[in-house]
Every structure is written in structure tokens, then in C-alpha cells.
Amino acid sequence: MLSNLLHINTLWVMASTMILGIAAGGIGCLAYWKRQNLMSDALSHAALPGVVVAFLIIQEKNLLLLVIGAALSALLGAFFIQWFTSASRITEDTAMGMTLSVFYGVGVMLLAIANRSPGGNQSGLNNFIYGQAAAMVRSDVITMVVLAAIVIFIIFIAFKEWKLFLFDPDFAKGIGLSIRGMNVLYTIVLVTTIVIGIQAVGVILMAAMLIIPAVSARYWTHSFKMMILLSSVIGGASGAFGTWVSSTGSGLPTGPFIVLTSAAVFTISLFFGKEHGIVIRYIQFKMQQRSSRLDHQQVMTEKGGRSQ
């Protein structure tokens, strides 16, 4: 009976981490081509103060409200990063490092205050921040699945617009696409994915859910469409598999196993990937070397022929 219940709960959690992985894999491709791989790391840290403030206001763990708090705070972080880079000589990585650590610091301050306040379910809050998918209840799962589904829908519905926006923004502008609008939409979708993912894998590992599947997919295809599909598949599969592994023992954390699963996929892709994989590249290099040696010999014989 108990094991059966556990099992059903595990299935629920697996379903939610899988759909989260799909959403993160898709949006990760957009972030990859926007050259903002580490932005997800900065934003997930920047979400912390918003989560705690939301908790301090409502005094209970309601996933949707925590997610809204997190999103607002992450958006504020994104704004600061953008502002610092555009209005001073601070580079983007410095701006990200500052924003993530200072926001996180403020979050830790607020957390200390929240943990002091009487009543309230602080342990739920801690689970939210450090990621404990197993601790999710059914309403959490539903919130997560709905939001992730919206994200996936937005990515896939505007496929060619995303491609244009990422590849050639000037041209996109020329044919009447609003770059500003696309940027806002991109940021909202990115932030949404990050904040719903925090619950499952935690603030720190969320970045991996976006980065690793996208980079792995890059090794198998040149088509943007295939890359997004493949990245989503890798993300979803890692989510489900990682959750399953962590459910086999008691007290095993979910997030790290998800991350290690996708890291394993990445390693395989890095070596054996069809495009730019190490093995393929080595063979190409050797072939080029040989062909240029042949060329050289040919040229030498031609030269020899001419001089005679």
C-alpha cells in the first residue's frame, strides 16, 4: 500500500520533471543562440529574494505565488544586468556575477528573517529554494505542468519568428517583427522556466537544465528546428531518468541526478556527435592533412614537369 502510494507520487514527480526538462531544453536553445548561457544561472539566483518576500507576505507555501515573486525578482535582476552593461563599461559577465551574488545575499538576509518569524512552513520554503522534487504535492505539480506547457507552446508556435530573431534581428526588424517585443517575450519565457524549475532542481542547478541539453543537441544537427526538438527530448529524458534514479534510494536529491544524466548525454555527444564530435573531427583533421600532403606532391610534380 505504502510503496504503491510512493510509486504514484514518483510518477507524478517524474511527469513534472520531464515536462520541465522539455521546456528548459527548448528555451535553452534560444538562450544558446542568444549567447546567454550563464544568464539562466544569474536569473535563478536573482529569484531568491522574490521567493522569500512572497513567502513573508503570504506566510505559507503557495507555489503559484512563490513563482510570481521569484519571477518579479529575476526580472529585476535581468533589468540590472542589462542596465549595468549598457550604461557603463562593466561587461556582461561581471554584471551577471554581481547581480546573482548580491541578490542571493539579499535573499539569504530575508531568509534569516523569515526563519525567525513565528508560524509558517519554513521547511517548505527551504525545499523550494534548494530543490526537492520529491517534496512536491499534487497542486505544485499541476501548477508546474501548466506553466511549462505554456512555455513549450510559445516556443513551438513562434518557431520561425524565434529563428529570425536569433539569427538576424536586423532583417527581422525589416520585415516588421518587433525585436523589443520578442526580447520581452523571450525574457518572460526564460524567467518562467527558471522559476518553475527551481522547485525541482534548486537555484544552483537550474542553469544546467537549460545549458546542457542545448549544447548536447548542437552535436547532432545543423537545423535549428531539429536542435530545439532534440534538446527538448534530451531535457525531458534526463528529467524523468534522474528523478527515477533519485527515487530508488531514500534521501537522494533529485536535481543533481537530473544534471548528471544530462551531463552523461553531453559527454557522449561531445565524443561521438555527428557534427563536430571529437572522433569525427579527428578523422576530418587527418584526412585534411593527408589531402594537403597529396596536393603538395601534385604541385611539386607539376612544377617539376614545367621546368623540364
Partner 1 sequence: MSYSMWIILTASLVGLSCGLIGVFLILRKQAMMADGISHTVLLGIVLAYMVTQEVSGPAMLIGGIFAGILTAFLVQTLSSLKVRHDASLGIVFTSLFAIGVILISTSVGNVHLDVKHALMGEITFIPFTTMDIPLIGSIPKATALLLLVLLVVIFFIVAFYKEWKITSFDAALAASLGIPVIFFHYLFMTLVSVTTVASFDAVGAILVVAMLITPAAAAYLWTDKLIVMLFLSGGFGVLSAIIGYWIATWLDTSISGSMALATGCIFFVTFLLSPKHGLISRLVRPAELREEQEA
Partner 2 sequence: MVSSVINVDDLSASYQKNKVLNDVGFEVKEGTITAIVGPNGAGKSTLIKTMLGLHPKLTGKVSFWGSSFKTAKKKIGYVPQRGSVDWDFPTDALDVVTMGLYGKIGWFRIPSKKDKEKAMNALKKMGMEAYAHRQISQLSGGQQQRVFLARALAQDAELYFMDEPLAGVDASTEKAIMTILKELKSNGKTVLVVHHDLQTVPEYFDHVLFLNKTVYAYGETEEVFTKDNIATTYGGDMQWVGKGDQYVIQSTSH
End-to-end CA distance of the chain: 94
Is residue 134 within the footprint of partner 1 (CB under 8 A)? no
Question: Does 121 contact partner 2 by CB under 8 A?
Answer: no
Query: CA–CA distance from 290 to each of 274, 281, 283 (Å)?
Result: 21, 14, 11
Gap between the Cα atoms of 85 and 2, Å rounded:
54
Residue 139 interaction partner, one of partner 2, partner 1, none, beta carbon < 5-8 Å per kind: none
Task: Report whether 160 contacts 225 (CB < 8 A).
Answer: no
HEC-encoded secondary structure of 264-292:
HHHHHHHHHCCCCCHHHHHHHHHHHHHHH
Residues 6+ apart with CB under 8 A from 234: 21, 25, 212, 213, 216, 217, 262, 265
Stretch that binds partner 2, among 74-82, 135-143, 229-237, 290-298 (CB under 8 A): 290-298
In angstroms, give the least distance from the CB of 279 to partner 2: 15
Please, what is the minimum distance in Å from the beta carbon of residue 166 to partner 2?
Answer: 20
For the CB of residue 89, give the shortest distance to partner 2 in the complex, in Å: 5
| Binding of residue 259 to partner 1 (CB under 8 A) | yes
| Given 90, 135, 185, 280, the residue binding partner 1 (CB under 8 A) | 90
Q: Does 253 bind partner 1 (CB under 8 A)?
A: yes
Taking the least distance from each CB to partner 1, the nearer of 112 and 149 is 112
Cα gap 54→66, rounded to integer Å: 6
Q: Which of 72, 185, 260, 280 binds partner 1 (CB under 8 A)?
A: 260
Among 251, 219, 217, 221, which residue's Cα sits nearest to residue 236?
217
Binding to partner 1 by residue 56, rule CB under 8 A?
A: no
- For residue 135, the 8-state DSSP code is G
> Which of 8, 253, 287 has its CA nearest to residue 132?
253
Q: Which does 263 bind (CB under 5 to 8 A by kind): partner 1, partner 2, none?
A: partner 1
Contact set for partner 2, span 66-105 (CB under 8 A): 89
Q: How far is the CB of 84 from partner 1 (least distance, A)?
A: 7
What, of partner 2, partner 1, none, does residue 293 touch, CB below 5 to 8 Å by kind? partner 2
Interaction residues for partner 1, span 186-205 (CB under 8 A): 204-205
Interaction between residue 251 and partner 1 (CB under 8 A): yes
Nearer to partner 2, 101 or 292 (CB): 292
> Does residue 97 bind partner 1 (CB under 8 A)?
yes
Alpha helices in the chain (DSSP H): 2-33, 39-46, 48-58, 63-87, 92-116, 122-130, 138-157, 159-167, 169-174, 179-218, 224-247, 254-272, 278-307
- What is the binding site for partner 1 (CB under 8 A)? 32, 35, 37-38, 40-41, 45, 84, 87-91, 93-98, 100-102, 104-113, 116, 126, 130, 204-205, 207-208, 211-212, 214-215, 249, 251-253, 255-257, 259-260, 263, 266, 270, 276, 278
